[in-house]
Amino acid sequence: MVSVTGHVALDPARALLRRDLAALDDLVGADPQRAEALAGELAERASALGDADALVLARLGLAEAVQRTGDSAAAARLITDLRAQHDHLGPEAAVRVPWLLARVFTDLGDRPTALEHALDAAAACSDDLPRRLRTRVFVKVADLLDELGAYEDSRTWYERAEELAVGDGQLHLLVVNNRAYSELERRDAVAARREMALLHELSARYDRPLNANTLDTVARVHLLCGEPELAEAAARAAIEANSAMDAKNGDDAPVCLLTLAVVLRVRGEVAAASRVLDEARAACAREGFGTVRSQILAEQAEVFAALGDYRAAFETHKAFHAADRELLSEQREAQARARQAVFEIDVARQEAARYREEARRDPLTGLRNRLFVDERLPELLTASRSQGRVAGVVLLDLDHFKAVNDTYSHEAGDEVLRRLARILTDAVDGCPGPESFAARLGGEEFLLVVTDARSGCAADLGERVRRTVEETDWSAVTPGRAITVSAGVATLAPGGDKASLLALADARLYAAKAAGRNRVDAG
């Protein structure tokens, strides 16, 4: 399978698909609804090309578009369905999945669970992944740490994100905007003003106008600093920019309108504030955006009070609390559904992993079995060759094992096999090189694989096992009869493969038996 983030040359159709996936990543923030349609089209193209990595990324783009339009529950279902259908995710998808889940659980008001997913995404980040993705992941971690009160840790993550973002105007402004908003939420006017000044500086440096989201932050900072005139100008600029620039979330329009309404009320223009709130309600009239709806009601109550209509203010205040309770209930229900979906997928994946593991273990001895050897040994040989290591094998056979079964019973024979497995496991645990292992191929035949067999390591291992078996006290299992093994040793020859390696080891095992058994033939 070709990795989306790899450097393997692609045919023109796949190369075009990847360029379009990059375009989807840009579009999903600017216009989530158009991104939904594009993601569906890219998924169909990826499926037709048999490009599994691209198909996963297209579906994740669809999930992000759905989340940004306000339907977090639907986004959660898309993500969990995708995880259920794919056992292995490419490097980029392995980061995008937990990052999107962090966004979903943030929307649902469950910050601790969101942070867990965000940290999982950060842990999966590597330097060869797109810088934009890594920056957004780090910003998400910083945002959540800030919201959970871990302010110093939050600042550290913002710094990491900013280091990545330098040179990319859009990313750099994103990081500073979020950091400014965190200072705003803490009501730190000095720090918020400092970040606001940096936003204007970066806008000039990169020759990039501030987007609606950032202008809304600027408006709120001015309001915090007691500058309502400047706040109104920024709020109106945010509303104007919302339709023309890269709005980052589907609820930007009502949020910007809400900010303007607050500014107008503070300035004493309460009738105008009331009209703007009507626009804000209309902007989020469809499903979703429960948090913004609740905030609009709270502000509407303030406006009615400022107009002297205390009955309307009281009724609206009651409606706000009812909406707030309903929102909390919906969030809890959605959290439960999302957690259940994630839990069910995780359990299913764990069960599948357990079944795969069991299918590759010998039930009697607990060693790896022939299926595992057939699947894993070729990969290890290729890796050893590419890394300059010498792979080796020891093929062992219990001497006269049929006589053990016939004389002492099959139960005794099984105990001999289990004890031998423990000897082999202990022996291979001390071998150099990663991923050396012991396996039972069937009956009384065993295999030891050494992934770094330089300087006669495999031959030494075979002789050490032979001597250990010979010197073991077997009297409790086979009284009056010693147990011995014969072995053939082989190392991977240049141009060799699994078949030639095992054939050589088998030939040498046969030679060891023909020479009298209880010996090792290493050629």
Q: In this predicted model, what pLDDT tens digit does every residue of 37-90 receive, in sequence order?
A: 999 999 999 889 888 889 999 999 999 998 888 777 788 888 888 877 776 788
Write the DSSP symbol of residue 404.
Answer: H
Question: Using CA atoms, how far apart are residues 13 and 168, in angstroms rounded to an integer?
Answer: 29
Higher-pLDDT residue of 452, 208: 208
Pair 401, 392: CB distance under 8 Å: no
List the structure tokens of 404. 């053990």
Write the DSSP symbol of residue 455.
Answer: G
List the structure tokens of 407. 């004389």
User: What is the model's pLDDT at position 464?
Assistant: 93
Pair 487, 521: CB distance under 8 Å: yes
Residue-wise pLDDT for 192-207, tens only, equals 999 999 999 999 999 9
Please give the helix or strand (H or E) that residue 440 lies within, else none: strand 437-442
In a domain, 451, yes or no: yes
Work out the percent of the chain whose per-residue pLDDT is above 90. Answer: 47
Residue 278 — very low, low, confident or very high, per pLDDT cuts 50/70/90?
A: confident
Question: Using CA atoms, how far apart are residues 300 and 315, in angstroms rounded to an integer?
Answer: 10
Higher-pLDDT residue of 365, 252: 365
Compute CA distances 19 → 28, 132, 489, whole Å.
Answer: 14, 15, 51
Only one residue has tokens 């062992």, namely 396
Parallel/antiparallel/unpaired status of strands 437-442 and 520-521: unpaired
User: What is the model's pLDDT at position 1?
Assistant: 33
Judged against a pLDDT cut of 60, whether residue 133 lies above it is answered with: yes
Number of domains into which the chain is organized: 1
The residues facing 423 across adjacent strands are: none
- Catalytic residue annotation: 444
Question: Using CA atoms, how far apart are residues 520 and 497, in angstroms rounded to an integer?
Answer: 22
Write the DSSP symbol of residue 361.
Answer: B
Residue-wise pLDDT for 378-399, tens only, equals 988 888 888 888 889 999 999 9
Higher-pLDDT residue of 133, 435: 133
User: What is the model's pLDDT at position 6?
Assistant: 41
User: What is the model's pLDDT at position 254?
Assistant: 86
List the structure tokens of 118. 């965000």
Only one residue has tokens 């992993």, namely 353
Judged against a pLDDT cut of 60, whether residue 346 lies above it is answered with: no
User: What is the model's pLDDT at position 4?
Assistant: 38
Instruction: State the CATH number of the domain containing residue 408.
Output: 3.30.70.270
Average of per-residue pLDDT across 131-144: 93
Judged against a pLDDT cut of 70, whether residue 354 lies above it is answered with: no
Three-class DSSP category at 410: helix
Pair 27, 34: CB distance under 8 Å: yes
- Which range of 149-158, 327-336, 384-393 scores highest in mean pLDDT? It is 149-158
Residue 365 one-letter amino acid: T
Only one residue has tokens 């009209």, namely 275
Residue-wise pLDDT for 91-128, tens only, equals 999 999 999 999 988 887 788 888 989 999 999 998 88
Q: Which domain range does residue 487 map to?
A: 370-521
- In this structure, of 301-305, 314-318, 470-474, the range with the lowest mean pLDDT score is 314-318
The span from the first CA to the last CA of the chain, in angstroms, equals 39
The residues facing 437 across adjacent strands are: 449
Please give the helix or strand (H or E) that residue 504 lies within, else none: helix 498-514
The residues facing 449 across adjacent strands are: 393, 437
Only one residue has tokens 């056992």, namely 87
- Nearest alpha-carbon partner for 52 in 20, 16, 90, 83: 90
Judged against a pLDDT cut of 60, whether residue 287 lies above it is answered with: no
Higher-pLDDT residue of 82, 333: 82
In a domain, 454, yes or no: yes
Question: Using CA atoms, how far apart are residues 462 and 522, in angstroms rounded to an integer?
Answer: 9
User: What is the model's pLDDT at position 297?
Assistant: 80
List the structure tokens of 457. 């390591």
Question: Using CA atoms, how far apart are residues 242 and 264, in angstroms rounded to an integer?
Answer: 19
In a domain, 281, yes or no: no
The H-assigned helical ranges of 71-129 are 72-85, 91-107, 111-124
In a domain, 515, yes or no: yes
User: What is the model's pLDDT at position 289?
Assistant: 56
Three-class DSSP category at 402: helix
In a domain, 505, yes or no: yes
List the structure tokens of 203. 């806008």
Average of per-residue pLDDT across 4-9: 42
**Average per-residue pLDDT in the chain?**
85
Residue 181 one-letter amino acid: Y
User: What is the model's pLDDT at position 246?
Assistant: 47
In a domain, 390, yes or no: yes
In a domain, 65, yes or no: no
Three-class DSSP category at 521: strand
Pair 117, 99: CB distance under 8 Å: yes
- List CB contacts of 194: < 8 A, sequence separation 6 or more: 183
Compute CA distances 353 → 147, 206, 234, whole Å.
Answer: 36, 49, 54
Only one residue has tokens 């009869």, namely 481
Residue 279 — very low, low, confident or very high, per pLDDT cuts 50/70/90?
A: confident
- In this structure, of 246-250, 263-267, 321-325, the range with the lowest mean pLDDT score is 246-250
**What's the CA angle centered on 260, arms 258 and 266, to 5 degrees?**
105
In a domain, 216, yes or no: no
- In this structure, of 341-345, 422-426, 445-449, the range with the lowest mean pLDDT score is 341-345
| Sheet of strand 485-491: strand arrangement | 437-442, 445-450, 392-398, 485-491, 520-521
Interhelix angle 52-68/91-107, nearest 10 degrees: 20
User: What is the model's pLDDT at position 355?
Assistant: 59
Please give the helix or strand (H or E) that residue 419 lies within, else none: helix 410-429
User: What is the model's pLDDT at position 294?
Assistant: 77
